[in-house]
A and B are shown apart, each in its own frame.
Chain A
Amino acid sequence: SQKIEQNSEALNIQEGKTATLTCNYTNYSPAYLQWYRQDPGRGPVFLLLIRENEKEKRKERLKVTFDTTLKQSLFHITASQPADSATYLCALGGLSGGSYIPTFGRGTSLIVHP
Chain B
Amino acid sequence: DAGVIQSPRHEVTEMGQEVTLRCKPISGHNSLFWYRQTMMRGLELLIYFNNNVPIDDSGMPEDRFSAKMPNASFSTLKIQPSEPRDSAVYFCASSLVRASNTGELFFGEGSRLTVL
Give residues in A with beta carbon < 8 Å to B: 31-32, 34, 36, 41-46, 49, 51, 89, 91, 93, 96-107
Contact = CB atoms under 8 A, between A and B. Distances in A.
Nearest to A95: B101
B3 to A, nearest CB: 9
Contacts of B96: none
Given A43-B109, A97-B56, A99-B50, A49 B43 contact: no
Interface of B: 4, 31, 33, 35, 41-45, 48, 50, 55-56, 58, 91, 93, 97, 101-102, 104-110
A61 B85 CA distance: 40
A31 B101 CA distance: 9
Q: Chain A contact residues: over half helix, strand or loop, or mixed?
A: strand
B109 A51 contact: no
A101 B34 CA distance: 12
B43 A44 contact: yes
Nearest to B38: A106
B29 to A, nearest CB: 13
A106 B102 contact: no
Contacts, number: 66
B interface SS class:
strand
B107 A99 contact: no
Contact of A101 (B43, B45, B106, B110): B45
A106 B107 contact: no
A110 to B, nearest CB: 16
B55 A99 contact: yes
Given A43-B108, A43-B109, A43-B110, A101 B56 contact: yes
Contact of A93 (B56, B58, B102, B110): B102
Contact of A103 (B31, B45, B93): B45
Given A99-B50, A101-B56, A44 B42 contact: no
